[in-house]
């Protein structure tokens, strides 16, 4: 594992005493972490069938520049 690997950096590998993650589980954890790190606004949904993770769904929301404190963003023609 590379030193830039967040799972390895936290000591979550198969050689750490007490770590009982399988190689497949570590790969799934990496996928979930990747989905979370690359999301600014939205959600990550995990779908489990028969006790196994079968789908990771990332729903991203894009904020259109409207702030509660600043009000709506003015357009070029002043509207």
**pLDDT digits over 20-51, tens only?**
888 888 999 999 999 999 898 999 999 999 99
Residue 75 domain flag: no
**The domain containing residue 39 runs over which residues?**
6-60
The model's pTM: 0.54
Residue 34 domain flag: yes
Per-residue CA distances from 26 to 38, 62, 76 (Å): 18, 30, 49
Residue 78 domain flag: no
Residue 37 domain flag: yes
What is the distance between the alpha carbons of residues 70 and 62, in angstroms, rounded to a whole number? 18
Residue 27 domain flag: yes
Residue 72 domain flag: no
Q: How many domains does the chain have?
A: 1
Residue 68 domain flag: no
Give the pLDDT confidence score for residue 65 in this predicted structure.
Answer: 78
Residue 24 domain flag: yes
């Amino acid at each position: 594992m590379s030193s830039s690997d967040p799972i390895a950096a936290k000591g979550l590998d198969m050689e750490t005493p007490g770590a009982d993650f399988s190689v497949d589980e570590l790969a799934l954890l990496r996928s979930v972490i990747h989905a979370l790190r690359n999301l600014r606004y939205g959600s990550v949904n995990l779908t489990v069938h028969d006790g196994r993770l079968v789908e990771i769904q990332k729903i991203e929301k894009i904020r259109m520049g409207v702030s509660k404190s600043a009000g709506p963003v003015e357009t070029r023609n002043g509207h």
